[in-house]
Amino acid sequence: MTLPELAAGKCTPHSGPGHRLDAARSAELLRLLPGWENAGNEIARTYSFNHYAEMLDFVHEVAGIAEREDHHPDIAFGYNRCRVAWSTHSVGGLSMNDFICAAKVEALLSS
């Protein structure tokens, strides 16, 4: 799988531990996402920006992805930085949805 293929994916509802990815699959998918790290039950990345308005535009774009995919991250931001963290609470860890959405965020920056 490639990063563009992952970004082209569509989130689907998941519930229960049967949809939780194992550590090997999570590590394999994480290798497609430069700058992202496994932070326990979530994957996360912190982005830096030159200006506050640029960071806010990014937050709005990430929120748009979350709404379209019906999969919502934790977002923390300040003057020139933004941390985005994806997890699937309904499976108690990481699902394919987290990696799909992280790839969509990465696609924002390459367009």
State pLDDT tens for residues 58-70. 999 999 999 999 9
Reported pTM? 0.95
pLDDT at residue 111 in the model: 64
pLDDT of 52 above 90: yes
Chain-wide mean pLDDT for the chain? Answer: 95
- Vertex 43: Cα angle to 91 and 54 (nearest 5): 125
How confident is the model over 35-58, as a mean pLDDT?
95
Task: Tell me which CATH code domain 18-110 carries.
Answer: 3.30.1360.20
Residue 34's H or E segment, with its range, is none
Residue 105's H or E segment, with its range, is helix 96-110
C-alpha 92: how far from chain center: 16
How many alpha carbons lie under 13 Å from residue 15 in its C-beta half-sphere?
A: 1
Q: Quick check: 70 and 76 in contact, CB under 8 A?
A: no
Q: How confident is the model at residue 110 (pLDDT cuts 50, 70, 90)?
A: confident
